[in-house]
Amino acid sequence: MTEDGYGAAGRDRLRELLDAVLDEDNRTLDDMAGDAYSSPYHFNRQLSRGAGEPPVSMRRRVMLERAAWQLRHGASVTEVAFAAGYESVEGFSRAFSRGYGHPPSAVRTSEGGTTHWLPAPNGIHFHPPTSLWIDSRVEQAGPSASEVTALLVHHDVDDTRELLELAAKLSDEEYRRVQLPGNVVLPWDGPEESVAAVLEHLVWALEVWVAAIDGADTPPRNAAGAIDDPAALTARHDAVAPRWLATVRDIERRGAWSDRIVDALCEPPESFVLGSVIAHVLTYAAHRRQLVRQLLRAQGQTVDQGDPIDWLRRRTGGIG
């Protein structure tokens, strides 16, 4: 066995750890560690080092992959939700939508192959009916560049949603109050001087770019610059976020980062590299989200730092 425990004999130990993660009865880190005769700390450390992914995060991902496969073979949403360890169908649906970019009810039973796979840093995936598939094309122990991109895109839409929920606590006057007179993030977007304006630009950017990549018409926008209230803006965000996630996932699946689109929504039409579009959206979204935090704090709201590290720890049960 090598010094790190993953030599010729160590491969069997890693498989034991994986078995403990995916055992039907092991739904918590303590359960997994106990089944592997390890402390939770060392179990998490060993598996994270050996497979490049924390055990709770891996289990959640592989269970979602299994759920997607089961849905494509005719199982009901309720059935697969509880089989995957979720306490409610609503919680499962939210997790599935974040992962796949569409709700479980939109799964087509005709799909097959490996379309149930989610991005993984280690090539470990659910393989029907009850096995794992380890993709030999994935050799690195840590996250790939595409994994980091996926993390940033997911964090962006989740963080925007949380800020919209905080904005809903403001009075209408506070929501629309001019706090940054003359503030312009991008010259073609106009002023963004209030919580309302900055949040609207966050949502609008996704709507515009999804339409551009899909080749659709310019999405409608309120006349005379009127800005939706938080509830209506949240509804717009909830409609476009899964489409945006699916768009980015499709670019990754096709290896199309260097492809170009000609955006007919621009005047005159302009050409964009898809990878640069994603980078553009993430760059200005991060800036705008921090602006919203600044404005909310100035109005007495308690707001976190918007750190992807903290966000990922919440998603993985405090691990990561």
Query: Which residues partner with 272 through β-bridges?
Result: 261
Provide the pLDDT for residue 160. 96
In 3-state terms, what secondary structure has residue 263?
strand
> What is the third-level CATH fold of 145-315?
Four Helix Bundle (Hemerythrin (Met), subunit A) (1.20.120)
Query: Average pLDDT of the chain?
Result: 82
145-315 shares the fold of 10-134: no
Provide the pLDDT for residue 185. 95
Q: Model confidence over 162-211: pLDDT tens digits?
A: 999 999 999 999 999 999 999 999 998 889 999 999 999 999 999 999 98
Q: What are the sequence ranges of the domains in the chain?
A: 10-134, 145-315
d(CA 43, CA 215): 48
Query: Which residues partner with 131 through β-bridges?
Result: 127
Q: What is the CATH number of domain 10-134?
A: 1.10.10.60
pTM check: above 0.85? no
Lowest-confidence segment of 57-61, 84-88, 263-267 by average pLDDT: 263-267
If you count them, how many residues does the chain have?
320
Confidence of residue 293 (pLDDT cuts 50, 70, 90): very high
d(CA 194, CA 181): 9
The residue-averaged pLDDT of 289-317 equals: 89
Q: Model confidence over 62-74: pLDDT tens digits?
A: 889 889 888 888 8
Task: Give the residue carrying structure tokens 């503030």.
Answer: 183
Tokens for 66? Answer: 């299994």
Phi-psi region of 46 (alpha: psi -120 to 50; beta: other; left: phi over 0): alpha
Confidence of residue 246 (pLDDT cuts 50, 70, 90): confident
Provide the pLDDT for residue 53. 83
Q: Are 206 and 281 in contact (CB under 8 A)?
A: yes
d(CA 72, CA 32): 28
Which residues, including other chains, have CB under 8 Å from residue 182's CB and lie 6 or more apart? Answer: 191, 193
Most confident of 9-18, 113-122, 134-143, 207-216: 207-216
Eight-class DSSP state of 104: G
CA 269 to chain centroid: 31
Provide the pLDDT for residue 5. 38
DSSP labels, 148-187: HHHHHHHHHHHHHHHHHHHHTTS-HHHHH---STT-BSST
Q: Are 305 and 297 in contact (CB under 8 A)?
A: no
Per-residue pLDDT for 299 more than 80?
yes
Per-residue pLDDT for 113 more than 60?
no
